[in-house]
Structure 1
Amino acid sequence: MTELRSILDEAVRQELISPEAGGRLLPFLIERGVAVAEEQPAMADAGQAWSDTETPRFVRGFHDVLITVGVIVALVGLWGLAPLYAVPAAIIVLSEILVRRQRLALPAVSLTIALFCWTCLLMSHFFPPWMPASQSFGAEATQLVAGFPIILGAYYVRYGVPLSLALCIMSVLAFVLTLLLRLVQWASGNPAFFLDHPVVLALVALICALGLLGTALYFDLGDRLRRTTRSDIAFWLHLGAAPALLYSTVSLLSLGEGVRIFDVGNMSAGTPVVVATVAALMLIGLIIDRRAFVTSGLLSLGVAIFGVVRKGNATVDTYIFTTLIVVGTIVLIIGTGWMPLRRLVLRALPPAIANRLPPG
């Protein structure tokens, strides 16, 4: 009955049926013995592989791809010819047709990204974020991110695109981060507080990154079988949580080794820290069954390996191709052995925790 209720709730969220109809349909279907077939557990019992629970729902067919290409080309052309304020009007018109009426998933993602990029340009036009490093952390950064939750939240309320809610949540956390930084700076009475205490900056960033991970897990664990839009929202949140955790953790642990805060170019100085952090992220990804969580951290691992090889006497071609081989091998090992590795991890966890996670 729980699965049937979740399916009807999802139909209501997608406006396929009204809330009143959903409430009447549930007892009607239960009285007539309608149940949701549990095909995936049956496959698992038969010794077959569990189907992928992380299949992106925004990839439904080449029709969506074709429409998305048209959306991107048209918006790029409009962006180059029309004023800045003409772009959101086009995004809204296309969203009404492609998202609200036709419910095309991939075009919805592209339109959400276009809205996000337009918001970046709009906010940076009014509140330029570029400030000298010697200046204090001012109100510009807070004002810059303040518009994102409003615009993206309104878009989600109207069109219900999971990516828009995920970006809205990330922007809210970014807004909270700027407020925390300004609060700490104000309480210290030192305009250059974070230049003198970079560890505090890394700690605050790590707290916000953990908050993003906790939010992603909230949506993820609420739909362990991944049948509703909660799973889609969690997918995007995990894509943002992994690099946020990686950079904040590496910055915090590498400050004593001469690595500047969030300095990706010099991250090779803290390569052991990067490798250990990425390994921890891979373990978390295995536990929660999120390949996207693991994948988003591999780019930084490549940067670290690239830095290690670059410190030697190898030529440019050598350390580029060495980095590609190492990262590609890691991806292949994780990709081909994901399910066996995850079963081992789940068996090592207490049943109370394992039963709340996606089945292995």
Structure 2
Amino acid sequence: MEHFDLDAAVAAGVIRSDQADELRRFDERLRHAPSATEERFALVSGFADVMAAIGIAMVTVTLITLVGATFPYAAAAFPFACWVAARYFTEKRRLMLTSFVLFVVWAIGCAGAALTVGLLTTGFDPLHMYGGVEAPAVAYVLTAAVATVACYAWWRRFQLPIAFAAFAVALVNVGVNAVRALFPELPSLGVDLVSAVVGPLLFVWAMWWDISDVRRETVRSDVAFWMHIAAGFLIVKGAMTLLLGVEGDAASWGRMFQQIADPNHGQAAAVLVLFLVFATVALVIDRRSLLTSGMVYAVPAMIALFGGVGVGGSGIAIAFLVCGLMLTFLAVRWTAMREPLLRLLPQKLAAQLPRPQLKAVGPRPVY
């Protein structure tokens, strides 16, 4: 049983709280690892879930194609259909992958409807906008604001963890687009700094959720997981943008949508040092999001250090070998490496983080 199922059994009076804790400790002994450090998250509930998710995705794509060819504005009805469907698939059946699909359609549908309204009210025709025509920033502020409300409403109604993470990202985007509307010609460095601030803000928010459930046995842990995924990506992207710049000659706000430049031989060492910093933070907080996001840039840096692509791609092969061995080593020795790091921290700080050895004392809260 999942931890959330055990919580439900305790709340229903089927088993006692201490019995649920004993089952959790028994599961840890079987796996030879504390459950808190496993970073479990619900993604697929079973093959029935996969079938329902594929079916809903096929229906959605087909209807979008048909509606888009006749009356595109009718697509505004899709979010309402998703809400009704979630009352069955999410509330009653608890099919996680299907719930993700429904939520994605809901969020995109609400954001798309808001963008359409924003464009129409500012004199743009959303059905006849082609490349080179940029929408006004106020339309993006409206889009982010509506997406924020939509994601929060989904979280409050269905308690889907990824919905809260999406709400947090959308809320941050409201601020970013507001700055974009107020300073449309912000210098490139200013844009890079705005991008670099977003990730740490989400990281602090994610840590607040993590601290509220150090044993990672409630829905709060799942919320923190998705928050850390978003924060890790944005932190690494912001740091690498400041360090490496972007490809092409994009300036001002156009830099936010450009790919990070590949590191040259001189920059590669700095990228790897930054990656080690991210890996250390990931170990301390027991979240692998910073590590996996940083690996995207560590591989090109390693390739550059080994002489680039080289003849026959030997540089690529060696870089992938080293990075693969590093990830495997961290996966095997993760808990053993965390223990000495936690001992270096003040006791009050370490007590707020997931620990390698967790012991339940008394009844635990059920959220």
Give the residue type in structure 2 aligned to 1:76: V
Task: Describe the superposition over 1:290-340 as per-residue Cα deviations: whole angstroms up to 9, x where unpaired.
Answer: 12342233223334445666x746257445544433432332122122111
Instruction: Report matched runs for 1:3-22 at 5 Å.
Output: 11=8
Residue 107 of structure 1 and its aligned partner are, at CA, apart by 1.6
Report the CA distance shift for 1:325/1:46 in structure 2 as closer, same or farther (over 3 A).
Answer: closer
Question: Retained in 2: the 8 A contact 1:91–1:111?
Answer: yes
Look up the SS of the partner of 2:90 in the other structure: helix
Residue of structure 2 in register with 1:355 after alignment: 351
Look up the SS of the partner of 1:268 in the other structure: coil
Matched, 1:221 2:206: no
Report the CA distance shift for 1:68/1:54 in structure 2 as closer, same or farther (over 3 A).
Answer: same
Give the residue type in structure 1 aligned to 2:289: A
Residue of structure 1 in register with 2:97 after alignment: 106
Task: Describe the superposition over 1:194-246 as per-residue Cα deviations: whole angstroms up to 9, x where unpaired.
Answer: 23xx2222222222221100110011110011111111111111111011011
Question: Retained in 2: the 8 A contact 1:165–1:233?
Answer: yes
Query: How many Å separate the matches in 2 of 1:136 and 1:75?
Result: 27
Query: How many Å separate the matches in 2 of 1:341 and 1:313?
Result: 33
Residue of structure 2 in register with 1:298 after alignment: 295
Residue of structure 2 in register with 1:96 after alignment: 87
Look up the SS of the partner of 2:167 in the other structure: helix
Query: How many Å separate the matches in 1 of 2:62 and 2:300?
Result: 34
Report the CA distance shift for 1:75/1:44 in structure 2 as closer, same or farther (over 3 A).
Answer: closer
Query: How many Å separate the matches in 2 of 1:201 and 1:290?
Result: 28
Higher alpha-carbon deviation: 222-231 or 327-336: 327-336
Unaligned ranges ≥5, structure 1: 1-5, 186-190
Query: How many Å separate the matches in 1 of 2:148 and 2:31?
Result: 46
Residue of structure 2 in register with 1:276 after alignment: 273
Residue of structure 2 in register with 1:176 after alignment: 175
Give the residue type in structure 2 aligned to 1:268: P
Query: How many Å separate the matches in 2 of 1:354 and 1:76?
Result: 48
Give the residue type in structure 2 aligned to 1:242: G
Question: Retained in 1: the 8 A contact 2:148–2:171?
Answer: yes
Give the residue type in structure 2 aligned to 1:101: K
Report the CA distance shift for 1:316/1:111 in structure 2 as closer, same or farther (over 3 A).
Answer: farther
Matched, 1:77 2:73: no
Residue 88 of structure 1 and its aligned partner are, at CA, apart by 2.3
Matched, 1:199 2:195: no
Residue of structure 1 in register with 2:221 after alignment: 231
Look up the SS of the partner of 2:352 in the other structure: coil
Task: Describe the superposition over 1:261-280 as per-residue Cα deviations: whole angstroms up to 9, x where unpaired.
Answer: 55534142443343233222
Residue 286 of structure 1 and its aligned partner are, at CA, apart by 1.0
Instruction: Report matched runs for 1:119-134 at 5 Å.
Output: 119-125=110-116, 126-127=118-119
Task: Describe the superposition over 1:26-60 as per-residue Cα deviations: whole angstroms up to 9, x where unpaired.
Answer: 9xx99xx9665355568889994323541112333
Query: How many Å separate the matches in 2 of 1:302 and 1:122?
Result: 39
Residue of structure 1 in register with 2:199 after alignment: 209
Look up the SS of the partner of 1:177 in the other structure: helix
Question: Retained in 2: the 8 A contact 1:64–1:104?
Answer: yes
Query: How many Å separate the matches in 1 of 2:241 and 2:249?
Result: 7
What is the TM-score with the length of structure 2 in the denominator?
0.74
Matched, 1:37 2:34: no
How many residues align? The count is 330
Residue of structure 1 in register with 2:145 after alignment: 146
Query: How many Å separate the matches in 1 of 2:149 and 2:30?
Result: 49
Larger RCO: 1 or 2 (CA < 8 Å, sep 6+) = 2
What is the TM-score with the length of structure 1 in the denominator?
0.76
Task: Describe the superposition over 1:128-155 as per-residue Cα deviations: whole angstroms up to 9, x where unpaired.
Answer: 799969x999434323322210221222
Residue of structure 2 in register with 1:188 after alignment: none
Higher alpha-carbon deviation: 246-255 or 329-338: 246-255
Query: How many Å separate the matches in 2 of 1:166 and 1:252?
Result: 25
Higher alpha-carbon deviation: 198-207 or 136-145: 136-145
Matched, 1:249 2:234: no
Query: How many Å separate the matches in 1 of 2:143 and 2:31?
Result: 53
Instruction: State the percentage of identical aligned residues.
Output: 22
Indicate which of 323, 330, 354 corresponds to 2:326: 330
Task: Describe the superposition over 1:77-130 as per-residue Cα deviations: whole angstroms up to 9, x where unpaired.
Answer: 333223423432432232121012222222212222232333454455454799
Look up the SS of the partner of 1:359 in the other structure: coil
Question: Retained in 1: the 8 A contact 2:303–2:309?
Answer: no
Instruction: Report matched runs for 1:26-65 at 5 Å.
Output: 36-38=20-22, 48-51=32-35, 52-65=37-50
Matched, 1:87 2:78: yes
Question: Retained in 2: the 8 A contact 1:216–1:234?
Answer: yes
